[in-house]
Amino acid sequence: MNEWLLLLLVGAGLILGIFALGPYLQPNPELQARQRFLELVRTWEGIRDLRAEIGVARPGEPRLNFSLLYLAGLALRLEIQEPEELRGEVYALRAVPEGWLLVHFRPKLGLGLESRFSDQALTRLLSEFEGFSPEKAKIIWPEENVVRFAGLPGIFTEAELQLDPETNLPTKILLKDRTGNPLELAVEKAEVNVGLELRELLLLDPFPTRWIQIPFPEGGA
């Protein structure tokens, strides 16, 4: 009888202890949401190269369609497909020994614009641009493959990523600025780790007949 009484007392003590610690043991939804997003970002770190077709829509403005090529740590290329007046224009960013080289190719003019800058110059510029900063935002997962951000400090204060359940890549990105104006980026097609080569990202056809060096915007300008 004494043994049963002891067990009951111990059991009651454990139950009371759990109730007392309940508020501290409850999962923190905001912390869990942030941790889940960090795990998502870690899956993106495995991307060596990426090929994508992206459309950008904004009310009252013509749709912008472009192809995107990305080679991790080496280069990024964006080629405009629509609107027609910008078709074929290329923006390419690649690593060079002194830092980075940004090229804007305008085929209708046979013109290439290029700007060279150091890692430090890019860091200074980005440090003054309050862009997408998830660490400063509230993160929620309203659905299994949808993550939302509120309270972003930059131009866009709200963002929503709709994810492909198989690849974890965004299929649609919805943004809102401070006045509530929306911007939608739709990823029409995306291929990851397909073996892209650097030459594919640097190809300019036809090759520019004129080149102009332009200064890189310094921070605070």
Return the domain boundaries, the chain. 31-213
> What is the model's pTM?
0.75
Tokens of 133: 């900063």
How confident is the prediction along the chain (221 residues), in pLDDT tens digits per residue?
444 444 444 444 444 444 444 444 455 678 888 888 888 888 888 889 999 999 999 998 899 999 999 998 889 999 999 999 999 999 998 888 888 888 999 999 999 999 888 878 777 666 555 455 556 778 889 989 999 999 887 788 889 999 999 888 999 999 998 888 999 999 999 999 999 899 898 888 788 888 998 887 665 44
Residue 3: the pLDDT is 44
Considering only CA atoms, give the Rg of the chain: 25
For residue 64, what are the β-bridge partners? 56
Residue 134: the pLDDT is 59
CA 177: distance to chain centroid?
Answer: 16
In angstroms, rounded to a whole number, what is the distance separating the alpha carbons of residues 192 and 187?
Answer: 13
31-213: CATH, from 1.20.1440.230, 2.50.20.10, 3.40.50.150, 3.30.360.10: 2.50.20.10
| Amino acid making up residue 158 | E
Q: Is 52 exposed, middle or buried (0-12, 13-18, 19+ CB in 10 A)?
A: middle
Question: Cβ of 67: how many Cβ atoms within 10 Å?
Answer: 16
CA dihedral 103, 50, 46, 93 (to 10 degrees): 0
CA 96: distance to chain centroid?
Answer: 23
Nearest to 173 by CA among 183, 161, 164: 161
Q: Is 27 exposed, middle or buried (0-12, 13-18, 19+ CB in 10 A)?
A: exposed
Question: Cβ of 103: how many Cβ atoms within 10 Å?
Answer: 19
Which residues, other chains included, contact 136 with Cβ-Cβ below 8 Å and sequence gap of 6+?
Answer: 151, 152, 153
In angstroms, rounded to a whole number, what is the distance separating the alpha carbons of residues 182 and 159?
Answer: 10
Bin 180: left if φ > 0, else alpha if -120 < ψ < 50, else beta: left
